[in-house]
Homo-oligomer: A and B are copies of this chain.
């Protein structure tokens, strides 16, 4: 952890204030050194009170993603978030993470961007990523799994995202298999899973996540307004992005651990509770082909099992799902 991260962690651990000399002792530096860092944090927008009686107190944090602060809030996780990077603007966080991965970035490295100029959804589609209004980020993973099990990670990420949103807002997002979170049928978040792999071994997975946090209806292009939403639109108030980000990383870390240890049953349970796709009559477009049937369950690899019109089960690992109508 950097000095800034440790100062913020120290301040957060002492909501009633901590003296400069105590902070200096914790960090092994001089009181003047602490004061310099406090001034820098204030310049970034952190509201830090300094009183002769109470010492330093953190009264408020700015609405920005600050790598040190995210690390300080996150504390120790097993894998996810062990290294955090925040960029003001990128083309796409998946692209940046891919470059970091080639440079040898640690597993669990997370790349956030305040805005993306070329945010991507699945199959090369555009993802709207206006500055400071969402969480646009990518988690770099190096799981020891064959390529066909990567679907599991998308399923795990969807449940983790959904749980974190519930913790922070009380809202319960629905999961649309495999990669979308919806509220009232409107898209709140999406997951773009990209991998590099040999035939039988994944080399790296980029879990790209876009969540519409504080977007207003006007932030979406007109044709998308009827099918998209944000937490702010749903709650009628702004959401603290940094807190939400930390909650998400923590839940992702838990779910990734579950996948790594083969504890998939609990994930599937949670997933099934929140999934709107299961039990529905669906049409799934795979390239030129459309498969119709009833989405029955997930298999062990996270693939969707669809009972076709002739009664046979099809195993679907991806594709565009349209829910056609509810089967009673």
Q: A147-B147, A148-B147, A148-B148 given as contacts; is B201 within 8 A of A318 (CB)?
A: yes
A200 on the interface (CB 8 Å rule)? yes
Cross-chain contact A194 with B198 (CB below 8 angstroms): yes
Report A185-212 CB contacts with B as 1/0, cut-off 8 Å.
0000000111111111101000000000
Checking B146, B193, B198 against A199 with a beta-carbon cut-off of 8 angstroms, the contacting residue is B193
Q: A147-B147, A147-B148, A287-B144 given as contacts; is B200 within 8 A of A317 (CB)?
A: yes
What residue in chain B is nearest A99 (Cβ atoms)? B102
Closest-CB distance, A20 to chain B (whole angstroms): 49
Residues of chain B contacted by A6 (CB below 8 angstroms): none
A154 on the interface (CB 8 Å rule)? yes
Interface residue tally for chain A (C-beta within 8 Å): 27
Residues of chain B contacted by A196 (CB below 8 angstroms): 194-196
A119 on the interface (CB 8 Å rule)? no
Cross-chain contact A150 with B199 (CB below 8 angstroms): yes
A178 on the interface (CB 8 Å rule)? yes
Closest-CB distance, A120 to chain B (whole angstroms): 10
Which A194-249 residues have a C-beta within 8 angstroms of B?
Answer: 194-201, 203
Closest-CB distance, A247 to chain B (whole angstroms): 25
- Bound-state CA distance A148–B196 (Å) is 13
Q: Name 24 A/B residue pairs within 8 A (Cβ), A-sorted.
A: A123-B198, A146-B286, A146-B318, A147-B148, A147-B195, A147-B197, A148-B148, A150-B199, A151-B199, A178-B199, A179-B199, A192-B198, A193-B198, A194-B196, A194-B203, A195-B197, A195-B198, A196-B196, A197-B197, A199-B317, A199-B318, A200-B286, A200-B318, A201-B318
